[in-house]
Amino acid sequence: MKKIFSICLVAVLLLVNACKKDDKISASEEFGFEERFSPKEDELPVIKEMFKTYDLWLRLNFKDAKEVTNSILMQDPGNRYGATPLAEEMKPSAIMFVDTLLHNVSTDYVRRVFPREFFFVKTYDGSYWEKNIHALGRTRLIVCWPNKVKDAQPITVPETHYYQDSVVTRMVWSSLSNMLVQRMEQEIPGFEAAGMPYDNGKIMDEISKNYPGNSEEAIEIRQAELTKMAAERGYVSASGSRTYDTDLSQWLSLLVLESFDNIKTKYLDNSPKRTEKYKVLTEYLKKEYNWDIQAAGNKYREKLNSFQ
């Protein structure tokens, strides 16, 4: 037994030594293994180029719904209705939407942090459980297209739909930001310290207890206290006080889709802690990932305003 183990260990070491630092270890045809996580040879060139550039697979086709509900590391056993394929005529607009989104993020950030797959389908699940978007674990974001979320706009100009339909774009970034926070290599140094510590919702519970009631006046007073707390403690919204993940995901989805002028007026001028947290976050993304997230937000707001 020890002899067999030693032989296997030597074989592994020889394999490691034979690989250069940047070599990609892939399935070997010699052993009959199929490399599953990549576009097929007959895939659209734009899909293959996107995969090559970003290491992200935009998937538009499937034969069995289990291809959608079962990802590499996660399954969705609660999905009783499966998924239906994207209509052929909707594929170009889906490609353009994702391509525009990716061009608003640095290539380095996408390759290192983004989920590995965007899967566009016509429907996902069904009946009362039908979803407009679904994050399957940390590696696959499933988007229904065209999307039926309330107030979504019809796709009239695919090239600019990312900027024109703020409802769908904000929904996508909300789900995506939750995934990104889980996938980043480390917590951002100094981010939590720039505000107040997270407390799992304790302070929100205290405010709800101190300002009870369901009347319009009571709700308005309670909401004002929650908004005040968020500003004093450095969160985008009161729910950010719960956890680091909740707070950071809200910051990401805010900055990538809003101009600095609007952020400054609504969030920074009334909150020194939010101002410091904004500085920590934007500087970290530039230094670590070469991503000027605020430039993306400025561009988005400018484009969106041009359609209104």
**46-74 per-position pLDDT tens digit:** 999 999 999 999 999 999 999 999 987 88
Residue-number span of the structural domain to which 115 is assigned: 45-180
- 72 found inside a domain: yes
Domain contains 286: yes
Residue 254 predicted with pLDDT over 80: yes
Instruction: Assess whether 90 and 126 both reside in one domain.
Output: yes
Confidence of residue 7 (pLDDT cuts 50, 70, 90): very low
- My answer on whether 165 and 253 are in the same domain is no
List pLDDT tens digits, range 19-28. Answer: 433 344 343 3
75 vs 170: CA distance, rounded Å: 25
Helices (H), the chain: 2-18, 45-54, 66-69, 91-102, 107-113, 161-164, 166-183, 202-210, 216-233, 244-255, 260-263, 272-289, 293-306
Report if residue 273 sits inside a domain: yes
User: What integer pLDDT is reported at residue 223 of this predicted model?
Assistant: 97
Report how many domains make up the chain. 2
Asked whether the predicted pLDDT for residue 89 surpasses 50, the reply is yes
Tokens representing 282 are 């934007």
12 domain residue, yes or no: no
d(CA 98, CA 277): 29
Is 6's pLDDT higher than 60?
A: no
From 115, 149, 180, the end of a domain falls on 180
Report, as an integer, the average pLDDT of 182-196: 97
45 prior amide bond cis, ω within 30: no
Mean pLDDT of the chain: 90
pLDDT: which is higher, 158 or 22: 158
Same domain, 239 and 155: no
**Phi-psi category of 187—alpha, beta or left, where left has phi over 0 and alpha has psi -120 to 50?**
beta
Q: Note whether 169 and 236 are same-domain residues.
A: no
Distance of CA 34 to the CA centre of its chain: 29
Whether residue 253 lies inside any domain: the answer is yes
Whether 250 and 175 share a structural domain = no
Residues 220, 302 within the same domain: yes
Q: In terms of domains, do 278 and 229 share one?
A: yes
